[in-house]
Amino acid sequence: MNFIQRTKINYLLVISITIFLSWVFFSNDKNKFVSATEDSIESVVTIYSYKNNKSYVNNNIGSGVIFSKDGYIVTNFHIISGNKFIKIKLNNGQEFDAKIIGGDVNADIAVLKIQSNEELKPINISDSSDLKIGDKVLAIGNPYGIGVSVSSGIISATGRDYGNPYLELIQTDAAINPGNSGGALINENGNLVGINTKIISRTGGFQGLGFAIPSNNIVQIASELIQYGKIRSGWIGNFRVSPIRLYINKSFVSGLRIVEIDNYGPLFDKGIRVNDVIISINSNKGDWKNLTSSLKFAGLGNNIIFEILTNDNQYKTIEIESDEIKELTR
């Protein structure tokens, strides 16, 4: 056997092994997604919301996920906003009237409750902090009301805050269209990693920019809504602030000047006094919106970190632990 013949045989052998390994990889990948869909699709529901119970015109249609076997369902707040009558359609075709347990417009999360004689299948939930860019995901929902369907994609980014200053969102290129809102974003194991919430589109249809609320936030917020019917705001003391613009390091910086503060509460206990300026809140701008949003979710296990410029022009960082805030939540 000469050199050219051996080279041809080796080349064909390499090609054959590559094709075989590719087939194994894609076959396993396909089987994983099929299994993931089968495991989770039963836990995704269709939601119809109406302004009144005499109209059969769908004012809103969206999706939701079964959060617990006793009938709690999580969806987006914007699906039910302004409507009083809610119907839930399970994947097996059964329909139920739903009660609104609670919701929050800023978090865009609502919890509904249905009464079923049978135990429902809650969706399995994964830790969304484990997500990596490039992870494969499936979006399950009811786009345009045509029926529950599945689309695939990857995690394009994490920590996005586009259009929602209260939550960091997951970005995905899995197809998300009107009606998918409130539906499940699952990983290849069939576990929930997010609730699909919005798209960026010039046409109103999918253009590769979809966003989901991370599952860790879903668990925190849904648990709060189930227990209290709302997200409790944190309390760090009685104080008043006034917006101010400062020139620091050759640029203008937004801040909140303390104009009045009572001599009790976590903020005072950390040494904050009148004329101190809050220049940063959790690494975000020191403005009213970020202050209120940090307090809004302080009861959900989040600490608040303030960067302060004191009245005597000293910089310092203070951190108020979530446990301190929870004890004072009202």
Q: What CATH number is given to the structural domain containing 258?
A: 2.30.42.10
Q: What is the pLDDT of residue 203?
A: 62
Domain-embedded: residue 61: no
Same domain, 221 and 133: yes
Domain-embedded: residue 254: yes
Same domain, 163 and 143: yes
What's the number of domains the chain is made of? Answer: 2
Give the domain extent around 172.
128-227
In the set 40, 49, 63, 108, the catalytic residue is: 108
- The answer to whether residues 51 and 59 touch, using CB atoms and an 8 Å cutoff, is yes
Same domain, 217 and 248: no
78 is a catalytic site residue: yes
Domain-embedded: residue 213: yes
In the set 181, 215, 280, 293, the catalytic residue is: 181
DSSP letters along 269-291, please? HTT--TT-EEEEETTEESSHHHH
The separation between the first and the last C-alpha atoms of the chain, rounded to the nearest angstrom, is 86
Domain-embedded: residue 59: no
Q: What is the pLDDT of residue 172?
A: 93
Tens digit of each residue's pLDDT (9 = 90 or more) over 210-260 = 899 999 989 989 998 999 888 877 888 889 999 998 888 778 888 999 999
Same domain, 184 and 259: no
Low-confidence ranges of the chain (pLDDT < 70): 1-30, 54-58, 161-166, 201-208, 299-300, 326-330
Q: What is the pLDDT of residue 103?
A: 93
Same domain, 191 and 153: yes
129 is a catalytic site residue: no
Same domain, 247 and 213: no
Could you say which of 185, 202, 227 is where a domain stops?
A: 227
Residue 66 neighbours by CB distance under 10 Å: 25
108 is a catalytic site residue: yes
Q: What is the pLDDT of residue 182?
A: 94
In the set 40, 43, 49, 78, the catalytic residue is: 78
Same domain, 205 and 261: no
Residue among 219, 212, 220, 217 nearest 186 (CA): 212
Same domain, 263 and 285: yes
Q: What is the pLDDT of residue 23?
A: 47
Domain-embedded: residue 262: yes
Residue 330 DSSP code: -
